[in-house]
Amino acid sequence: MKGRPFALIGINSDSVEDAKKAIEREKLNWRSFQNSPEGWERSISDDWMVRGWPTIVVLDADFKIRYRGHDGHEATRIAKELVDKLEKIDS
Amino acid sequence: MISLSFLLLAAQPAPWQEPAAPVATQQEPSAQTHYEVLAAEYDAAYQAWMEGVQKLFADAAENGETVTEYPDPPFADFMPRFLKGANKHAGTEQAVPYLVWVVQNGLFSQMSEATEAWNTLLDRHAASAGLEPLGPMLSSMSYIFPEKAAGMVAKLEKESSSELVRAWATWVRLTPIFKENGPKTEAFRLAKKEMQTLLAKVQDESLQRAFDSEVTVLEVFGMGMTAPDITAPDLNGVEFSLSDYKGKVLFVDFWGDW
């Protein structure tokens, strides 16, 4: 998906060290927020009412929710469709 | 003494007399009683298992160890006994609590028994109010048996004699409507109204909870809703915002390394 109008953003619930280890081991190259950064009373997952992991939310170019759930394949399919559509409009 | 033995003799019906109306104490224990005894025995075994596991964890914590393995709950020992009860009363209402137990306790450990029991319940006991304890499991079951989901929901909604079972079935039927349509759509609004009317009628706490937790989330994070922005540090401590990426398709993944 390099060079295409798409970004994968993680929200990581582990400690920063564990997350970095996992990223190195799994060769993950996406950017991640810390779910509950030091000094925060709330976590991002609370704000987003996440009740199970993993949870995936797919947003379109207007920041509108197009998928929310636990099914990575379905989320990927929807994201790809949106990217294709977006590229068609842009070209 | 003579008079006493006379009385005792007289208490025995003479063989040629018509037997008196059956007296409850003369019968073998009823199935309900047998089920209750068995269920209580299982509850005690489960409690003992639970305490054993808790002790395992407590001991390990004391020695600075981690528990990697612990025994299964005592499902397997009891499964044949509940199945036997179900078989003994096959086709009658008395089989229902045994089958319900098999579904409840086997669904995540002994799939084939649980599946068979669930099929039997649907085929022969769909009208029974004895299915009420399975209400909260209906939505998991519609995930586990996706090819049967629509059929079982329709059947229970139509045939169950229990208002509560019918309400759970309605909830499972409407859940995808809530998920696939945004909260601003007519479909969502109608489904919500239908559920609220039902909930007012059945007054069931766990159905209310299921509805509240799903629908509250979807009213904010449902299809087509604008996501809130996030501004927080990345793993290197550098602050950034989700909206930095606005204009692209975003795949937001709540993850962890487990």
B51: closest CA of chain A, how far (Å): 27
Judge contact between A38 and B235, C-beta under 8 A: no
Residue A62 domain-assigned (yes or no): yes
A65-A68-A70 Cα angle (round to 5): 160
- Hey, which residues 36-75 in chain A have their CB within 8 Å of chain B? 37, 40, 44-45, 47-51, 53-66, 68-69, 75
Please tell me the predicted confidence (pLDDT) of residue B8. Answer: 39
Distance of CA B155 to CAs A88, B57, B93, B102, B128, Å? 45, 44, 18, 21, 12
Tens of pLDDT along B97-121?
999 999 999 987 889 999 999 999 9
Mean pLDDT of chain B: 88
Q: Which residue has the higher pLDDT, B231 or B145?
A: B231
Pairing of strands A55-59, B249-255: antiparallel
* A61 falls within a domain: yes
Minimal Cα–Cα distance from B118 to chain A, Å? Answer: 26
Q: Which pLDDT does position A26 carry in this prediction?
A: 78
Residue A75 in any domain: the answer is yes
Give me the residue label for tokens 């809530």. B178
Within a domain: A1: no
Count the domains in chain A. 1
pLDDT band, residue B13 (cuts 50/70/90): very low
User: Which residues from B are below 8 Å from A62, CB to CB?
Assistant: 226
Between strands A6-12 and B249-255, the pairing is parallel
Q: Which amino acid is at A39?
A: G
List A68's β-bridge partners, or say none. A57
Q: In whole angstroms, how far apart are CA B81 and each of A49, B36, B47, B76, B168?
A: 43, 13, 18, 10, 29
Torsion over CA of B10, B12, B17 and B21, rounded to 10 degrees? 120
Considering the domain boundaries, does residue A34 fall inside one? Answer: yes
User: Is residue B63's pLDDT more than 50?
Assistant: yes
Contacts of residues A27-32 at CB distance under 8 Å and 24 or more positions apart, as own/partner, are A30/B253, A31/B234, A31/B240, A32/B234, A32/B235, A32/B255
The reported pLDDT for the residue numbered A6 is 95
> Is A3 a member of any domain?
no
pLDDT confidence of residue A65: 97
Digit-coded pLDDT (tens) for B196-245: 999 999 999 999 999 999 999 999 999 999 999 999 999 999 999 999 99
CATH number of the CATH domain containing A84: 3.40.30.10
CA distances from B92 to B25, B29, B96, B121 (A): 22, 16, 8, 11
Q: Which of A21, A64, A82 sits opposite B225 (nearest CB)?
A: A64
Residues 144-173 of B with CB under 8 A from A: none
Residue A4 lies in a domain: no
Domain membership of residue A2 (yes or no) is: no
ipTM of the complex in this document: 0.94
A40's CB contacts (< 8 A; 6+ apart) are B232
Rounded Cα–Cα distance for residues B67 and B57 (Å): 6
Dump pLDDT digits (tens) for A45-71.
Answer: 999 999 888 999 999 999 999 999 989
pLDDT at position B24 over 80: no
CB < 8 Å to B252, chain A: 9, 11, 56-59
Q: Answer whether residue B40 shows pLDDT above 80.
A: yes
User: Six-digit token pair at A80?
Assistant: 């790809």
CB contact under 8 A, A65 and B225: yes
Question: pLDDT of B129-139, one tens digit each?
Answer: 999 999 999 99
Whether A48 and B242 lie within 8 Å, measured CB to CB: no
Split at pLDDT 50, 70, 90, the class of B16 is very low
A22: containing domain: 9-90
Does any CB of chain A come closer than 8 Å to the CB of residue B91?
no
The predicted-structure confidence for B162-180, as pLDDT tens digits, reads as follows 999 999 999 999 999 999 9
Beta carbons within 8 Å of B41's beta carbon, 6+ residues apart? B78
Q: Which residue has the tokens 């319900």?
A: B100
